[in-house]
Structure 1
């Protein structure tokens, strides 16, 4: 493991912070990623149209998922892929189909918890509302009310003297945010308001996928500003790194492989969706790329056999207040470089061969790296890595950056690590 770490690229970290602020929902993250790809010369393809095998960059968007790839000049049908996989969703509170509710003169919004939400981090926080509206003509309209609109108020300690001895929150009763006053709750109020914010007629709205987000912007933290605090680092740090790495590799010249970014939705609730890693989306795109370049099943098999995927997601930095919760010989640290995530029970997909691939990429990039493994008495989380490996028969390596406060409304990472991750991913893709 090399120790000659370059100082972090402040421009990269500044850009990440802007990306986090501009991407309050998976749909916004995908739209912002697509905009960056288009500016780098990538073209968006329609899944229902015939694809050609032309060289250059292309991408497809489906809801909160995006898959982008770059075909070098002269690439053969059996040329293997190099994939960086990530996810666009984060744990939060999502608006229910009948959102208008209230009690005792307070107007509230009915929400459902999404993913492994750290509930207490959403209390007493200024919240906005974002996502997409589906219109009657089948189109979509993004909406982002990025100002204090909602709040989940915590019960005062005078009424819950045991709060500091063990706060217990009921997802149904205690997590419904307020957004105003009024004795009469009228069905349709929230969607009327959101439609107005999106500048569409409420009568044209046929459905919605809306969620709350903290309106506090990302910020540097600490005496020397060597940390970054912000929302949705899990896992927009990896999406941002993947976009930066893919565009850099496409701009730099002819890569030896076909580099791919696969940014899935719904990882936080198991990936079982048409836009999730358990679905066929990635395999379909890769196969269509092979066939569009004149290949057949044999070429597809050869390409997949030589393909490697980096499943990039956040991992746990050693917590100074809870060090006993970590494996005593594996203490990933902020600004120590990306982490290689290992679990012999296949909660992560890394094996010895994958470790070698990742180590070589970090060495080429001049980037330090660390290893993460869970404490034996602690259940291990999982990622899209094992899903990708099992579904597509592709060698997969689980990596990421080390953070604190994972699944909080506001997470914490080292300011060096996003740039170090992007550098390692670029070396891998190229």
Structure 2
């Protein structure tokens, strides 16, 4: 009996060190921090640190594209040029108007035999400046804004904000703007009434306590010598960036939370930051791609813009950009023998993954979830099952289960309470191309607020899940 006890103990220690125990027996996972090996915990902390570094710079779709290209080029990725055929192991990227991006890792099979696509969006809730934003009142200079993405307006008051984006001048000059992210930069703020004078305001509902039209940020105060406060702002723009007030009409400037990403909790399991939705999806896609050797099918990572606004515009997932690029890749393979059915057949032979974050169970209010199908922080990737025709088909889901379980990747399911909540992803746009598509993501607390919270073990699980999706063979 003692012999068997020793053997069982050694086996337990081996599983703890190697992480080779099945992550989700019977399809029900435990908290990953309970079941993970020492090595897996170290990996979670390492990827958490890399993710924080990514988020510090990647504040909007513009800066995310810039940051990603820099990371990709360090790993041997080159700009893809029209007419370039993809060979096994080739590494390319294609910049879609500085606001979207596509990365390619050449597979063993030709593109005409189908590809694996992982799509996420790189825009997140923020406040865009109106094109004529400046005005002054009571010796304060303010900017008028419009919200991008679904937000609770009251959450954006009394939060340090940074001004980021670009101004395009008539002569073609691009002026990049970033104020508020560095520790010695000034920040901006939307101020709220103090409780001493807010008796009438406090009678309003949460939806109206701060109106969207009132989300105007203070960017300057008081005269500078003979210059009044507004003239002082215009002088700053002229002296610092060489732009005039009229140039703001052709600008894309946004106010984003200025707080840096930070570890949260005494054990540092969590990360608080702006932009988890959906730059967590983008980052884990990158991390997976950078970890891969040559796959069977060519891997395509798509970063799309404007998901928070409905996948619109030429850089959004509703445009023809993705299928156009795949068509160009097939044309580069086949030359004058190319015909449209080749693209249609390639899309049908492809599989797509749409990644998007969703709310996790909040410990302060669990009533909004039916807990048996609710995502919990630390429990791994969540397969989204929204119903009403939005789910992946059962055979694609079974294949994903097999891929996860073959690599001991913890996973869970996500279904909102019926008729009580909802959300959208890129999946609908991908499936319009006749591509088998599945949606999954990771749970985030305070999603769409200026400072959301995710779990480092979920980051690791999502990265491993993306890699499994790209590498695991379909029957």
TM-score normalised to structure 1 length:
0.91
Question: Is there any run of 5+ residues in structure 2 with no aligned partner, and where?
Answer: 1-23, 30-34
Give the Å deviation of 1:233: 0.5
* 8 A contact 2:160–2:189 mirrored in 1: yes
Which residue of structure 1 lines up, in the alignment, with residue 80 of structure 2?
Answer: 45
1:99-178 matched pairs, under 5 angstroms: 99-145=133-179, 146=181, 147-161=185-199, 166-167=205-206, 168-172=209-213, 174-178=214-218
Q: How far does the alpha carbon of each residue in 1:128-168 deviate from its partner, in whole angstroms, 9 at most, with x for none?
A: 10012223343534322123421100111122236566442
Q: Which residue of 2 aligns with 1:9?
A: 44
Residues 70, 97 of structure 1: CA spacing in aligned structure 2 closer, same or farther, 3 A cutoff?
A: same
In 2, distance between residues paired with 1:232 and 1:77?
33
Distance 1:369 1:195, change over 3 A: farther
Counterpart position of 1:92: 126
Q: Name the SS of the counterpart of 2:112 in structure 1.
A: coil
Residue 81 (structure 1) shift? 0.9
Please, which of 404, 408, 419 is the counterpart of residue 460 of structure 2?
Answer: 419
Q: CA deviation at 1:286?
A: 1.3
The number of equivalent residue pairs is: 417
Name which of 422, 429, 438 aligns with 1:387.
429
> In structure 1, the residue corresponding to 2:187 is in which secondary structure?
strand
Question: Is the Cα contact below 8 Å between 2:187 and 2:258 reproduced in 1?
Answer: no
Deviation at 1:190, TM superposition (A): 4.9
Deviates more, 1:374-383 or 1:2-11: 2-11
Aligned-residue RMSD, C-alpha: 2.1
Deviations 1:334-389 (A, max 9, x none): 1111100111224x442312312322332233210000001013131111111211
Cα separation, partners in 2 of 1:191 and 1:338, compared to 1, 3 Å: farther
Relative to structure 1, is the Cα distance of residues 378 and 196 closer, same or farther in structure 2, using a 3 angstrom cutoff? Answer: farther
Shift of 1:427: 1.5
1:241-260 aligned at under 5 Å gives the runs 241-249=284-292, 252=293, 254-260=294-300
Counterpart check, 1:29 vs 2:69: no
Q: Which has the larger radius of gyration?
A: 2
Aligned partners of 1:70, 1:239: CA distance in 2, in Å? 16
> Normalized per residue, which structure has more helix?
2
Q: CA deviation at 1:301?
A: 2.4
SS in 1 for 2:303: strand
Query: What TM-score do you get using the length of structure 2 for normalisation?
Result: 0.83
Per-residue CA deviations over 1:57-105 (Å, capped at 9, x if unaligned) read: 1111123111111223x53242211111100111111111112112122
Structure 1 residues 110 and 86: CA distance shift in structure 2, 3 A? same
Residue 313 (structure 1) shift:
0.7
Matched, 1:400 2:441: yes
What is the aligned partner in structure 2 of residue 343 from structure 1? Answer: 386
Task: Pick from 263, 271, 283 the counterpart of residue 303 of structure 2.
Answer: 263
- Aligned partners of 2:272, 2:380: CA distance in 1, in Å? 17
Q: Report the alpha carbon displacement of residue 322 of structure 1 after superposing the two structures with TM.
A: 1.9
Bigger shift: residues 99-108 or 132-141? 132-141
Distance 1:182 1:220 in 2: 37
Map of 2:361 onto structure 1: 318
Aligned equivalents of 2:164, 2:233: Cα separation in 1? 12
Rounded to whole Å, the distance in 1 between the matches of 2:428 and 2:189 is: 37
Report SS of the residue matched to 1:376: coil
Rounded Cα–Cα distance in structure 1 between residues aligned with 2:79 and 2:319? 21
Mapped to 2, the partners of 1:83 and 1:358 lie a distance apart of 14
Quick one: which of 305, 313, 337 aligns to 2:348?
305
SS in structure 2 opposite 1:322? coil
The verdict on how the C-alpha distance between 1:20 and 1:191 changes in structure 2, with shifts beyond 3 A counting, is farther
Distance 2:308 2:395 in 1: 27
Deviation at 1:243, TM superposition (A): 1.1
